[in-house]
Amino acid sequence: MKLVILDRDGVINLMGTDHVRSVSDWEPIPGSLEAIAKLTQSGTRVVVATNQSGVARNYFSLDSLNRIHRHMIQEIQHFGGRIDGVFYCPHGPSDDCPCRAPKPGLLQDLEQRWGSLVGVPFVGHQLRELQAAMAIGAQPILVRTGHGDNTQRLHRGLDNVPCYDNLESFVDQWLQSA
């Protein structure tokens, strides 16, 4: 089984000015929905793993978060794609939660359901996502969308982390080499 893990904000959809708080705030990054459809059509399972501290900060409710995820899934389906699971951490940075990236707890939960994640691509745009991937043996992939440009510029030690302009460019390259 082929599997790819995606962060949500900054990888699939635009970041927004202050969290994606509602369905009306959710806007896909150009090409991202088509890229997920390409993965699906190639037989690859796609899972989303995302920190959503806006819940802990009372920016939006769990119900709102679930509506956003349902909307995202429906939009992806319009392009022939599928999300096989959405895993999220609703805790804030000060909660010391083991599932909040850069800690690998969310990915460990995913691993219990999907099997070993060693070598599985985890596409993110921030250092904390790359660190969580490394901690569990997944393959960190950096995209320059969201905060990815800053992540690449500001953090040393990412020379061995593949970097792509966006999710679509990663998917196109990954599918060619698979």
Of 7, 109, 149, 172, catalytic: 7
**Residue 165 known to be catalytic:** no
Mean pLDDT rounded to a whole number for the chain: 95
Of 1-10, 53-62, 150-159, which range is least confident? 150-159
62-66, 91-95, 118-122: which has the minimum mean pLDDT? 91-95
pLDDT of residue 19: 87
Q: Which of 9, 18, 25, 63 is catalytic?
A: 9
Q: Mean pLDDT across the stretch 89-116?
A: 94
Nearest alpha carbon to residue 75 among 120, 124, 115, 23: 23
What is the CATH classification number for the domain harbouring 98? 3.40.50.1000
What b/e sequence results for 127-162 when a residue is b if at least 16 CB atoms lie within 10 Å of its CB, and e otherwise? bbbbbbbbbbebbbbbbbbbbbeebbeeeeebeebe
Residue 156 confidence (pLDDT) above 90 = no
Contact status, residue 88 vs residue 107, Cβ threshold 8 Å: no
- Count of the separate structural domains present in the chain: 1
**Would you call 63 a catalytic residue per the annotation?**
no
Question: Is the Cβ–Cβ distance between 60 and 21 less than 8 Å?
Answer: yes
Structure tokens at 72: 């995202």
